[in-house]
Amino acid sequence: MAGATSALFILDIKGRCLISRDYRGQVSAAQVEKFFSKLLEKEDDIESHGPVCFENGVSYMFIQHSNVYLMTASRQNCNVASLLFFLHRVVDVFKHYFEELEEESLRDNFVVVYELLDEIMDFGYPQYTEAKILSEFIKTDAYKMEGTQRPPMAVTNAVSWRSEGVVYRTNEVFLDVVESVNILVNSNGQIIRSEVYGALKMRTRLSGMPECKLGLNDRVLLEAQDRATKGKAIDLDDVKFHQCVRLARFENDRTISFIPPDGSFDLMTYRLSTQVKPLIWVEALVERYSRSRVEMTVKAKSQFKERSTATNVTIELPVPSDATNPSIRTSMGTAKYAPETDALLWKIKSFPGNKEYMLRAEFRLPSIVSEDAVADRKAPIRVKFEIPYFTVSGIQVRYLKIIEKSGYQALPWVRYITMAGDYELRLI
């Protein structure tokens, strides 16, 4: 194991120590203040400096949040990436307790801060940074600890993200497979950018300490094994798991095995790098007649199979800022002029696959235009939609097993949904 940190310091914007916790007696607060004041003098912009410094045998690692700096210092060869990640987790814990982490909130809650610093690190080694677990035995009602309450079992358990003794009358697991499509198409109809971001979002209501096993379809084996996969293989990039997942088990047989946290969390996130055909294609023809009026003819087509249906479709069409007296006709849905955003909003509640709908609109323009008038903005067409029971990647949950020593039966619920992220089609 890499060497631990010696101490943790919280400094104000001028480098003065507000709060410190010495774990090994190797680096003093005065030494840190002296180092950091020299660093501030050398750098006009502290953000231009790297988050790691080395001076006189001491490694300093720091991050800035609001008007405070969080810093660890060590005389050993420590794991820098791990400690920087730890500092960001400390920020999350403080924000959970104080809502906003800044100098004033630290001064108002210094008793709680010291209690937290005692629990989140032990002899310089990061320990428990799950705010839900910490909040079970560190209370903030009176800005101090309540009596001599002992830590819950989770602190002495290897599973730091879940406390023991959780009980539900009905045991349920909700798993949503959500994919967000980002598309950018130029005025010639060429796809400039195409990405799909996916997440397996879980919400658990399970008693005890359940063991969950999740299996995905063979198409998402990530090609880690040198063997042919069934069906079409898919390249998933940037796959990330929640800390509860046993990575060694996943590497071995691609089974996602874990003891879940209680409540909502992202079990897995991923990115699909292959080019995706736009699920809803929009073409717009804009014609100006002298300076008196402008006509728009818009065609929207769903480019997915008929068995799927897009819901809550909104197509935002830019119009001239000086347009008035709209006359709008649609073959499906409703459309209204939104002058506050210089846009025409076409809403279709249900858009089945392999369908095509039309919109025609006419706007009046002022007969006299000021010489200072601004040219029409080059805003793109923006599309929002949701497609339930559908994923672009083809990812599927083959099974979700819940095993708990008490032997109760849990009800797993799995849903799939694809939605529009940054989905834009340029007119010009």
pLDDT digits (tens, 9 = 90+) for 61-91: 888 888 888 888 888 777 778 888 888 888 8
> Are 213 and 257 spatial neighbours (Cβ–Cβ below 8 Å)?
yes
Tokens representing 206 are: 């399970």
Class at the top of the CATH hierarchy for domain 172-276+392-421: mainly beta
What percentage of the chain has pLDDT greater than the value 90? 33
Residue 158 has a pLDDT of 58
DSSP 282-309: EEEEEEEETTTEEEEEEEEEE-S-TT-E
pLDDT in tens, 199-228: 999 999 999 999 999 988 755 444 444 444
Residue 199 has a pLDDT of 95
Give the three-state DSSP class for 119. helix
> Are 330 and 347 spatial neighbours (Cβ–Cβ below 8 Å)?
no
pLDDT in tens, 319-376: 888 888 889 999 999 999 998 888 999 999 999 999 999 999 998 887 655 555 555 5
The b-or-e profile of 257-271 (16+ CB within 10 A means b, else e) is bbbbbbeebebbbbb
pLDDT at 167 over 50: yes
Q: How far apart are the first and last CA of the chain?
A: 57
Residues 6+ apart with CB under 8 A from 41: none
Query: Where are the domain boundaries for CATH 3.30.450.60 in the chain?
Result: 7-156
Tokens representing 23 are: 């774990």
DSSP state, 26? S
- Whether domain 280-388 has CATH 3.30.450.40: the reply is no
H or E element in which residue 95 lies: helix 80-98
d(CA 206, CA 133): 16
Query: pLDDT class for 94, splitting at 50, 70, 90?
Result: confident
For the domain 7-156, what is the CATH code? Answer: 3.30.450.60
Q: Is the dihedral of CA 159, 160, 162, 163 positive or negative?
A: positive
Question: What amino acid occupies position 93?
Answer: V
pTM of this prediction?
Answer: 0.65
Query: Where are the domain boundaries for CATH 2.60.40.1170 in the chain?
Result: 172-276+392-421, 280-388
